[in-house]
Amino acid sequence: VLFVISHGHISTLLHLKIAIGDLFILLGGVSFCLANVLSRRYVKNATPLETTTFSMMFGALTLIILSVIFEHPSQAIAMAPITAHLAMGYVIICSTMIAYLFWFNGIQKLGAGRASIFFNFVPVFSMLVALLAGQSLNIWQLIGTGLVMLGVMSSGGFIQIKRPAL
C-alpha cells in the first residue's frame, strides 16, 4: 500500500499529509487485527457461522450507538431513496456478512496465520472494483498488485525462494 501511495518514491511518504479519514481507516485496520488476535481463544470452538453472527451483532450494535451519538441518523434514513436502502442491503449481506462468513471459514480451515496472508488481497480487489467502476489504473498500482501476489505466493509456499546456507 505504501508503495502505491508513494509511487515508489520514499520522499513522497516523508511529506505525506494524512487526512482524518485516512487516520480512521488506519485505526480500523489496527482494530481488525486486534479483534482477530484477541478473539482467537473465544472463537476456537465456535463455528464460522457463530463467529460471523457474533461479529456482525457486536459491530452493528457499536455502529448504531456511535451513529445515534454523533450523526442522529433517523431523518436521513427516512429521507433516503429506496435505491440507497437496496444498496445498503447489498453491502450488508454480500460485502459484509457473506464475506466474513468466508473469512471465518478460511480461518477455521487454514488457521489464523495462513488465512491472514490472504488479507493482503483486499487492496487488490478494491483496485479491481475501482477498475470496474471506470477508474483507470496506474503503473504503481500494477506493480503493487504484483508485489502482493509475489508475497502471498512466496509465503504460501507456491514460490520457493532460495536462501544461501549459513
Structure confidence by residue, pLDDT tens digits, 18-53: 667 767 777 887 887 787 777 777 777 888 888 888
pTM tops 0.85: no
Q: Is the pLDDT of residue 81 over 90?
A: yes
pLDDT value for 83: 95
57/31 Cα distance (integer angstroms): 16
Q: Which of 16-25, 74-83, 112-121, 150-159 has the highest mean pLDDT?
A: 74-83
91/95 Cα distance (integer angstroms): 5
Structure confidence by residue, pLDDT tens digits, 102-139: 888 888 888 777 777 888 888 888 888 888 989 888 88
List the domain boundaries for the chain.
Answer: 47-110
